[in-house]
Amino acid sequence: MEVEKAQRLVAGRANGTALALNLGDEARLKKEIGAADIVVSLVPNTFHPLVAKHCLGERKNLVTTSYVNEAMRAFDDEVRNAGLVFLNEVGLDPGIDHMEAMRVIDGVKAEGGRVLGFTSWCGGLPAPEANTNPFGYKFSWSPRGVLLAGKSAAHYLKDGRDVLVPAEDLFEHITMVPIAGLGDFEGYPNRNSVPYAELYGIPDTQTMFRGTLRYSGWCETLKKIGEIGLLDTAERNLAGTTYIRFVRSLLGMPADWNLKKTLRDRLKLRPDSKVIDRLEWLGLFGEEPIPLGRGSALDVLESLMLKRLRYAANERDMIILRHEFLVANRTGRRAKLASTLIDYGVPGGDSSMARTVGYPAAVGARLLLEGRVGRKGILIPVYPEIYGPILDEIRRFGIVFKEEREDL
């Protein structure tokens, strides 16, 4: 974040101070962490272990909204031995998704029941009236994480069957997901869902699936963007190159070939496909020079998306989070349960993404400051003493799930 924006955010708040901090300056980082009561880190995921190292050294509790990676998990013994808590995955997805899942699962268990299947869908999208571009998507943050997620393989359980989806097939693995009042969305698997069977305390579940929601057309477009090579991260010389020349170079295509026709043929697009139209609207076929001296294909794509896929003033974003459970009660009778959150940003105010990521992290930090979390080590919010107070608090801000039940 730019320091000027941070200063505006804390303006008028006596306890708020904005300052610029370069994570490469570890002496300064250590000093600022040492002066804090608790650290909330919202830096990119790859930098969390650096922050964690200094939190451990300065004996400070830590909160992040990011997935626990191997580097963070490696701190567990030291953090527990130091009597500290590093609370991770306490945003939206990951975060609220874990908390609502555990609320329902623990409720089923408390009544002597079992969870036989779990499916979760989550998407951060433009609200319907703000869905005004051919991609059906807009960014209020860097597109890089969203785009790189499309290069990840997926792994989940479906009806007792182990399903592995190679990265190159991710966007072909689509399920249409109906959301009441909003229509059908494309859903595709989100990385590795299998470990959550143990983390959620339902190791015998026959289905464990976590997926991402998008408006229709996203999956085909991202699949073809990957086939063109636009997700490649290898750096190259871009000086003096235009967008259309760059795309031609990725494809090894002579200048006298019809780019759109050749692309349609190479990508084996259906006659009714809108992929070419979307890429043209984005600007990839334009003669404008690329404003980067050096960079990767992903950098080029990201710069265009930041320019074209942005929210206009007063436009709302939308969060959809839906959990579906197959459960059996103590007598073996089955039912389907569903819990759905639909949340909208505030025109001219906070986005829904900011609300649903920021509020849980803030409440989690307060729980640690008040000493209300008895567990130590590397944690995620799957424990009642963590998820209960957070879910209760965010309801005050209108972040509320609608529950449904269908007896089978």
pLDDT value of position 91 = 97
pLDDT at 2 over 80: no
pLDDT in tens, 192-251: 999 999 999 999 999 999 999 999 999 999 999 999 999 999 999 999 899 999 999 998
- Position 126 scores a pLDDT of 97
Mean pLDDT over 43-47 rounds to: 88
| Sign of torsion over alpha carbons 319, 225, 176, 115 | negative
pLDDT for position 1: 56
pLDDT the model gives residue 283: 95
**pLDDT at site 298:** 94
The 3-state secondary structure of the chain reads: CCHHHHHHHHCCCCCCCCCCCCCCCHHHHHHHHHCCCEEEECCCHHHHHHHHHHHHHHCCEEEECCCCCHHHHCCHHHHHHCCCEEECCCEECCEHHHHHHHHHHHHHHHCCCEEEEEEEEEEEEECHHHCCCCCCCCECCCCHHHHHHCCCCEEEEECCEEEEECHHHHHHCCEEEEECCCEEEEEEECCECCCHHHHCCCCCCCEEEEEEEECCCHHHHHHHHHHHCCCCCCCEECCCCEHHHHHHHHHCCCCCCCHHHHHHHHCCCCCCCCHHHHHHHHCCCCCCECCCCEECHHHHHHHHHHHHCECCCCCCEEEEEEEEEEEECCCCCEEEEEEEEEEECCCCCCCHHHHHHHHHHHHHHHHHHCCCCCCCEEECCCCHHHHHHHHHHHHCCCCCEEEEEEEC
Q: Which residue has the higher pLDDT, 99 or 1?
A: 99
Residue whose tokens read 């962490």: 33
Q: What is the pLDDT of residue 6?
A: 84
pLDDT for the residue numbered 9: 85
Annotated catalytic residue 93: yes
Query: If you average pLDDT over residues 344-364, what whole number do you get?
Result: 95
The pLDDT of residue 11 is 87
Same topology between domain 3-87 and domain 96-217+313-351+398-407: no
Q: What is the mean pLDDT of residues 342-348?
A: 94
For the cut 70, the answer to whether the pLDDT of residue 37 exceeds it is yes
Q: Could you tell me which residue, 318 or 258, shows the higher pLDDT?
A: 318
Q: Where are the domains of the chain?
A: 3-87, 96-217+313-351+398-407, 221-308
CA distance 153 to 155: 7
**What was the pLDDT predicted at 67?**
92
| CA-based nearest residue to 311, from 156, 134, 130, 79 | 130
Contact assessment for residue 228 and residue 222, using Cβ atoms and an 8 Å cutoff: no
Integer Cα distance of 259 and 248 in angstroms: 7
Residues 121-176 pLDDT 10s: 999 999 999 999 999 999 877 788 888 888 889 999 999 999 999 999 999 999 99
pLDDT value of position 323: 98
What architecture does CATH give domain 96-217+313-351+398-407? 2-Layer Sandwich (3.30)
Spatial distance between the Cα atoms of 208 and 192, rounded to a whole number of angstroms: 10
Among 76, 77, 93, 204, the active-site one is: 93
Q: pLDDT for 81-92, tens place per residue?
A: 999 999 999 999
pTM comes to 0.92
> What is residue 102's predicted lDDT score, i.e. its pLDDT?
98
- For residue 5, name the pLDDT band (cuts at 50, 70, 90): confident
- For residue 104, the model assigns a pLDDT of 98
- Angle formed by the axes of helices 96-110 and 352-369, nearest 10°: 70
| Secondary-structure class of domain 3-87 per CATH | alpha beta
Mean pLDDT in residue range 8-35: 90
Q: Is the dihedral of CA 145, 147, 153, 159 positive or negative?
A: positive
Q: Which CATH class is domain 221-308?
A: mainly alpha
